[in-house]
Amino acid sequence: GESVGLHLPTLSVQEGDNSIINCAYSNSASDYFIWYKQESGKGPQFIIDIRSNMDKRQGQRVTVLLNKTVKHLSLQIAATQPGDSAVYFCAENQGAQKLVFGQGTRLTINP
Amino acid sequence: NAGVTQTPKFQVLKTGQSMTLQCAQDMNHEYMSWYRQDPGMGLRLIHYSVGAGITDQGEVPNGYNVSRSTTEDFPLRLLSAAPSQTSVYFCASSPAGANTGELFFGEGSRLTVL
């Protein structure tokens, strides 16, 4: 069964605001998570990853937070831009590059 | 670099027909995989390969065959298409031993089975 799931299927934010996309997982032994972005008509694109020995990891305008106590992770996008419109997936890496994806959150940017 | 190339981009089949989705990568990646994506859902792993001559099943392998005779190519075969196989198929690759979970995905092949 599904080991990762997203909280909201859609999220709408104003341009320039921060976006927070949430994801929960069920297996407390899971130790490696990845966020992907999928634009319409394209394949998923890697954004950022985090391992269970970390609580937070930052990239360019993105931050991933991992709370192992409640089995929750989030992707924060700072100063959201129109180009951030996409579907965002969290995924668990189960080794040998095998990924288990959540259902995705569609992020819509309002001007 | 072309990256991961999938052909065809679109295909319509009748129930019972067979076809092969092609996938090629020019990055010399050891790992390759096939995922399917149904509407409103995340991707699910069909088959994967950790190197030439080695393949293994993923979460939803039934109805699909794969082979890996070269590092570059990883075709996905549907032997007898069924309407339940209507989906968008993504091929992905990655280097073995990489310290990230980054898979490089193709643009997808949209398959409709009537």
Tens-place pLDDT, residues A52-81: 999 999 999 999 999 999 999 999 999 999
Using CA atoms, how far apart are residues B96 and B103, in angstroms rounded to an integer?
Answer: 11
Counting residues of chain B whose pLDDT is more than 90, the rounded percentage is: 88
Using CA atoms, how far apart are residues A92 and A98, in angstroms rounded to an integer?
Answer: 8
Candidates B27, B46, B105, B107: best to mutate against A (most CBs of A within 10 A) is: B105
CB contact under 8 A, A43 and B105: yes
Residues of chain A with pLDDT under 50: 1
Distance from CA of A25 to the nearest CA of B (A): 14
Instruction: Report chain B residues whose CB lies below 8 A from the CB of A44.
Output: 43, 90, 103, 105
Residues 6 or more apart in contact with residue B7 via CB below 8 angstroms: B21, B22, B109
The string of pLDDT tens digits covering residues B41-78 is 889 999 999 999 999 999 999 999 999 999 999 999 99
Q: Which residues of A38-60 are buried (b: 16+ CB within 10 A; e: fewer)?
A: beeeebbebbbbbeeeeeeeeee
